[in-house]
Amino acid sequence: MSVATPRSNRFPLRLAQVSRLPQSGGDKALHRSGQSVTPVGLGLDSQGVRLQLVQRLRKGGVSHCGVLDAMSAVCRHDFLDSALAAQAYEDTSLPIGHGQTISKPSVIARMIELLFEGEGARKSASLGRVLEIGTGCGYQAAVISLLSINLVSIERIKALHDRAAVRLAGIRRDNIRLVFGDGMFGHPPNAPYDSIIAAAGGEHLPAAWLEQLAPFGRLVVPSRQPGSDRQVLVVVDRNEQGVRQSLHEAVNFVPLIPGVVV
Ligand code: SAH
């Protein structure tokens, strides 16, 4: 896998490089980003709240510096409705509308860290070309885009896809391609992918994901164990011999659903 981190997203970012939100016109009590309006005065725009989150992640066992830096660089509150912004830096999943949830920061960090433990990403220190299934609000896409060459992210609910597009345009990530569609088919035009990550889980891994996984690539997805309601993280590695699967800790993701909602 040949991997070069794009110039504009080279990691780790220095704190001085972390972009500030633009102030909204005449209203000093609000910050605007995409369609969301976030109240200020909660301290959410201070780097301190994100550094506290990173400290908690580190205590919880996340040790990859690139992952921790990326989590400290992305403003999670920008991706949430203003009513939930005060909870943005707690380690909790939160509703994003349409019956969906943004994952807990610790789970996002853990899954990305697992991707980095794959053979290709370990050698190149980049996630390479990434496929994400389940854009949701776009937060995880923003984090991954800082750690990859490029990212294709698929969402099946049009309203979430559209809102994520506005939010991600607001922070100018030019290495993200958002796709509206059924992620169970992956996205063949940009395949193969060095890393594949899903934010929704079913009982079976769609064949397209395995087909679109590059040599030395790694896939990390939640999956329900046959005959049970329990979901675990499943890791699949592709090497010269073929694919190898391992099971990890229990998780609780929204279901992977076929088809789209327009
Ligand atoms: N990481 C996301 C989490 C989103 S929740 C974030 O940062 O917000 C999981 C998302 O997966 C939901 O938005 C849901 O609509 C989406 N999803 C479920 N099944 C899907 C499918 N077959 N194709 C694409 N997206 C799907």
Q: Tell me, what CATH number does 224's domain have? A: 3.40.50.150
41 is written with which tokens? 């005065």
Q: Is residue 4 part of a domain?
A: no
CA contacts within 13 A on the Cβ side of 163: 20
Number of compact structural domains in the chain: 1
Q: For the whole model, what pTM was predicted?
A: 0.86
Active site residues: 103
- Mean pLDDT score, 111-121: 95
120 is written with which tokens? 């290709």
Q: Is residue 261 part of a domain?
A: no
Residue-wise pLDDT for 124-154, tens only, equals 889 999 999 999 999 999 999 999 999 999 9
Ligand 1 touching residue 145 (CB < 6 A): no
Q: Listing from the earlier edge strand, what are the strands of the sheet with 129-133?
A: 176-180, 150-155, 129-133, 193-198, 213-224, 231-239, 242-251
Mutation test of ligand 1: which of 74, 130, 155 has the most ligand atoms closer than 8 Å to its C-beta? Answer: 155
SS3 content of the chain, % helix, strand, coil (to 5): 35, 30, 40
Q: Is residue 9 part of a domain?
A: no
Mutation test of ligand 1: which of 76, 156, 182 has the most ligand atoms closer than 8 Å to its C-beta? Answer: 156
Mean pLDDT over the full length of the chain = 86
Q: Is residue 260 part of a domain?
A: no
Ligand 1 touching residue 200 (CB < 6 A): yes
Closest Cα partner for 187 from 220, 213, 221?
213
Closest Cα partner for 17 from 74, 65, 89?
74
Closest Cα partner for 131 from 61, 69, 205, 220?
220
Q: Residue ranges of the alpha helices (H) in 63-104? A: 65-73
Q: Is residue 203 part of a domain?
A: yes
User: Does residue 90 carry a pLDDT above 60?
Assistant: yes
What CA–CA distance (Å, rounded) separates 149 from 130?
8
Model confidence at 42, pLDDT cuts 50, 70, 90, reads low
Query: 3-state class of 121 per DSSP?
Result: helix
25 is written with which tokens? 């016109």
Q: Is residue 138 part of a domain?
A: yes
Task: Quote the pLDDT of residue 10.
Answer: 43
Q: List the domain range (segments joined by +) for residue 228.
A: 15-250
Ligand 1: centre distance to CA 94 (Å): 13
Ligand 1: centre distance to CA 187 (Å): 15
Name the closest-CA residue to atom 14, ligand 1.
134
Q: Is residue 2 part of a domain?
A: no
Q: Is residue 159 part of a domain?
A: yes
Which element (helix H / strand E) includes 161?
helix 158-170
